[in-house]
Every structure is written in C-alpha cells, then in structure tokens.
Amino acid sequence: MNEQFGISGKVAVVTGAGGVLGSNIAKSLLQQGAKVVAVDIRQEELAKRVAELEAYGRDVIGVVGNVLELDSLRQLAGDILSRWGKVDILLNIAGGNMPGATLAPEQHFYDMDIHCWEKVTNLNMNGTVYPSLVFSKVMAQQGKGCIINVSSMTAYGAITRVPGYSAAKTAVANFTQWLACELALKYGDGIRVNAIAPGFFIGDQNRAVLINPDGSLTERSKKVLAKTPMRRFGNIDELNGTVQFLCSDAASFITGVVLPVDGGFSAFSGV
Ligand SMILES: NC(=O)c1ccc[n+]([C@@H]2O[C@H](COP(=O)([O-])OP(=O)(O)OC[C@H]3O[C@@H](n4cnc5c(N)ncnc54)[C@H](O)[C@@H]3O)[C@@H](O)[C@H]2O)c1
C-alpha cells in the first residue's frame, strides 16, 4: 500500500464505539495498525464490542464515558497521554436520532416534544463540540492531529420528520468548517478537521423506519433509494476507506471539508 495512506501507530479516540458505525470504524483502524480508545456511554454494549475488537489488534481499550461531560473527557485525555503519550485522531461518532425526536407522519411541528429536541440537538452538536474542545487542545500542544466529525445528508437538504437531528447535523458541518479554520490559523497546518456525511446505511437507529419486519422496504426507504443514483443502501465497510484517507498524510492539505459517502444522494436532484 502507498505509505502516504498508512495510519499505523497513530492513537485514535473513537466516540460512539459501542454502536454500529463506530465499532466498525474502530475495527478498520485497528486492522491498519492504529491504537484505539473506544468510548461509549453504554457499558454492556461497549464491553461486547471491545471483546470483538480485540481479535483485530492488541492496542484497544474500552472506556465508558459520556461525550457531554467535559471533566471526564479531560480526565480521559490525561489518562491517554499517560499511557500512549499522544492523541493523533479524534473520531466524533457518538450521536444519532432518538425515538421521541422523530415526528410520526401524522404529527405536526407543534406536536414536537421540546425535551426530545433539546436532547437530540445537545447530543449531536455538543457531543461533537465537547470532545473537540478537549482533544484539539492536546493536538494544539502537539502541533499535529486530525479530527473527523459525522454529519449527515440532512445537512444538504431537508429530510422530513427529524427536525432536531437535521438542525444538529447541519451545525456539525458548520462547526467542522469553523474549527478547521480556527486551528489552522492559530496552530498551523498540522491539525486538520473534516467530517464525513454518510448517506443511508442500515443501523440500529434507522432500521425500523427503513425495513419492514418482513424484510421488505418501507415507503420511506423506497423514497431514499429513488434519490440515490446507486440505488442501494451503503455497506458500513464503505465508510472505512474514507476515514482512513482523511486520517492519513495523504489528506495533509485537506481541512474543513464535509465529504459525502452516499452513493450520489447529495448530488442528485431526483430527476
Ligand atoms: N447509520 C446511518 O445511516 C447514519 C447516517 C448518517 C449519520 N450517522 C451518524 O453516525 C453516527 C453513528 O451512527 P450509528 O448508526 O452507528 O448509531 P448507533 O446508535 O449504533 O451508535 C451511536 C453510539 O453512540 C453512543 N452514545 C450515545 N450517546 C452518547 C454519549 N452521550 N456519550 C458517549 N456515547 C454515546 C451510543 O451508546 C451508541 O453506541 C451517529 O452520529 C449518527 O447520527 C449514521
């Protein structure tokens, strides 16, 4: 493999590593020789994922943690520095929609549960900002590092029924640009901040709205596929190459981008 794409020996913090995308990306990083700190709020799920990840590399530790708790994130940064001496990569993957934050088809905006709006915007926006605040400081001191956030197709055009998730993932895209500029201007070209915007991948959060219990497509997923020129959902492994590229020296002049990995969804008018 071209050396430029290598990430061996890099220390990566992966939030949301107890989930579908986070654990798969953590697996891919381990396979490429990176060291992984897998963070998730769900203890049991994390323990299960970390046990699976250990088959792919020795250097993985699981840490139960909340991306919305600044003090424990600071503690975690100190612990990682004591153990591995540096933090090269932060992957802000913790996030997602929540059942109460999705409007049913017959509901109106006025029926929206404001507490769910607050929860979902807090997790997706501040859950990206807080770890970035803590770990970018370490990177600024090192003069080197890379952050990857997770935005969504909602940042390109309205997606019905998920107002809080849409607003927060659009904020993540904007924050990615802002932080990229801030860190490059103040600390030089060694620190990069980018985001990926996954299209539609079947995960635990969206399975029920995309796939009927009998395995057939829901009306919503038919609409998704009609606007996806590749006419299929993503396979979760299809995010891994993009993440590795953005983490590697091959992307050394790329900062502030939001890269869609979406089978063409964001490029297509549908006509
Ligand atoms: N699956 C998709 O198609 C898709 C598309 C676009 C964006 N995304 C985004 O990708 C990310 C991962 O999605 P997924 O499908 O793997 O979801 P998932 O629910 O499987 O994983 C999310 C993980 O985040 C963890 N988490 C939640 N709150 C946390 C907190 N406060 N602190 C620490 N961890 C916390 C959860 O426990 C869970 O393990 C999310 O940000 C989601 O919005 C997913």
What single string gives the DSSP state of each residue in 86-144? ---EEEE------GGGSPPTT--GGG--HHHHHHHHIIIIIHHHHHHHHHHHHHHHHT-
Rounded CA-CA distance 102/267 in Å is 25
> Ramachandran region of residue 33, left (φ > 0), alpha (ψ -120 to 50) or beta?
left
Under 8 Å CB-to-CB from 219, ≥6 apart: which residues?
A: none
- Please report, for the chain, the start and end positions of each structural domain, with discontinuous segments joined by +: 3-203+235-267
User: Atom of ligand 1 at shortest distance to CA of 169?
Assistant: 43
Residue whose Cα lies nearest atom 20 of ligand 1: it is 19
Rounded CA-CA distance 244/127 in Å is 22
From ligand 1's centre to the CA of 4, what distance in Å? 29
Let me know the angle formed at the C-alpha of 71 by 68 and 76, rounded to the nearest 5 degrees: 95
From ligand 1's centre to the CA of 82, what distance in Å? 28
Rounded CA-CA distance 138/86 in Å is 8
From first to last of its 271 residues, the chain has per-residue pLDDT tens of 578 999 999 999 999 999 999 999 999 999 999 999 999 999 999 999 999 999 998 899 999 999 999 999 999 999 999 999 999 999 999 999 998 999 999 999 999 999 999 999 999 999 999 999 999 999 999 999 999 999 999 999 999 999 999 999 999 999 999 999 999 999 999 999 999 999 999 877 788 888 999 999 999 999 999 999 999 999 999 999 999 999 999 999 999 999 999 999 999 999 9
Please provide the CATH number assigned to the domain covering 3-203+235-267.
3.40.50.720
Q: What is the SS3 assignment for 263?
A: coil
Token digits for 188?
Answer: 């030089």
Which residue from 93, 119, 159 has its CB within 8 A of the most atoms of ligand 1, so it is best to mutate?
93
